[in-house]
Amino acid sequence: MPEPIIDFRGVTKRFGEHVVYERMSLSVLPGETLTIIGGSGGGKSVCLKMMIGLLVPDEGQVLFHGTSVPDMPEEGLRQVRRKVAYVFQGGALFDSMTVGENIGYALREHTDWSMARIEQRASECLTMVGLHEGVAEQMPASLSGGMKKRVALARSIAIEPEVILYDEPTTGLDPKNIKRIGDMILKLQRELDVTSVVVTHDMPTARKVSNRIAMLYQRAFPFVGTADEMWHSAAPEVRDFIHGRIRRAEQSAPAHPVDAAEDSRGA
């Protein structure tokens, strides 16, 4: 088994009284697309945010190439964030900047490239996600939901990351755009040879893009395996999730919205 790129070891994460993870372990292997599925408000995004140090665990370790992310100095963390791109659920495009400036943001931060070169790279990234160059001049507010997600994708690949984290990339999209985003994830995986972690509760997308699926259930990942293994799993919690059945324990447990930046180091 290859050395994991990202490794969670016995991670516990709490927000006040609410325990999101309890002694959770999970490994992300190089080159794979790992999909994290689970109910809403369960803490899937928290898992992604811990990977790049936006949130820090209360106990346990989060390792990137064997180095503890929460213990990294500022510069180390900056380098992790250069290598690990994050596609936010709503796109999180900067309202005050054009699409082109959004895409070039990481390049301006991490390189000493000229403006012309950054603009050229932004155009390449837009083409890669199926948008024409003219979009670069538009403001994010003028884009549709699907276009925003694709621009967010373009922004994430601009700096040629090793890993891309997708936080619910298909949420709020129509079936055509869901398919398009799924195809895009596969295309980027193929063309850029990146490792991907996708958080979703859209089962068709999960099945389409994943090498492995990890199912979040009761503060840990009791199931990690291929899509086929998941579909044929006899574990009741897996069957219930696939068929959309609500278990009694889940019904009585309220979903806690998590203020993600509450204990964030970066924000």
Partner 1 sequence: MNGIERFGALVLSGLEWLGGVARLVLRVLRVGPRRPFGFDDILHQTVELGVRSLPIAMLITLFIGMILTWQFGWGLEDFGATMALGNVVSVGLVPELVPSMLAITVGVKMAAGMTAELGSMKVTEQIDAIAALGADPYKKLVWPRVCASTLSLPLLIALGNLIAMLGGMLIAEWKFGVPAGYFYETYIDELEPLNYIASPVKGVTFGALVGAIGCYQGFNTKIGTEAVGAATTDTVAATAIIIIIADFYLNTLFF
Within 8 A by CB and 6+ apart from 245, the residues are: 239
Q: Measured from the CB of residue 6, what is the shortest distance to partner 1 in angstroms?
A: 15
First-to-last C-alpha distance (Å) of the chain? 35
Choosing from 11, 52, 118, 164, the residue that interacts with partner 1 (CB under 8 A) is: 52
Choosing from 31, 172, 222, 257, the residue that interacts with partner 1 (CB under 8 A) is: 257
Enter the tokens of residue 255: 């979903």
β partners of residue 67: 64
Q: Is 93 in the site for partner 1 (CB under 8 A)?
A: yes
* Stretch touching partner 1 by CB under 8 A, among 31-39, 74-82, 188-196, 224-232: 74-82
Q: Is 150 in the site for partner 1 (CB under 8 A)?
A: no
Q: Measured from the CB of residue 262, what is the shortest distance to partner 1 in angstroms?
A: 9
CB 62 within 8 A of CB 265: no
Q: Is 267 in the site for partner 1 (CB under 8 A)?
A: yes
Determine the longest span between alpha carbons in the chain, in angstroms: 58
Q: Measured from the CB of residue 53, what is the shortest distance to partner 1 in angstroms?
A: 8
Q: What's the rounded Cα separation, in Å, for the pair 182 and 65?
A: 27
Enter the tokens of residue 199: 């958080």
What's 156's DSSP letter?
H
Residues within the interface to partner 1 (CB under 8 A)? 49, 52, 54, 74, 78-79, 81-82, 85-86, 88-90, 92-95, 105-106, 109-110, 155, 257, 259-261, 264-267
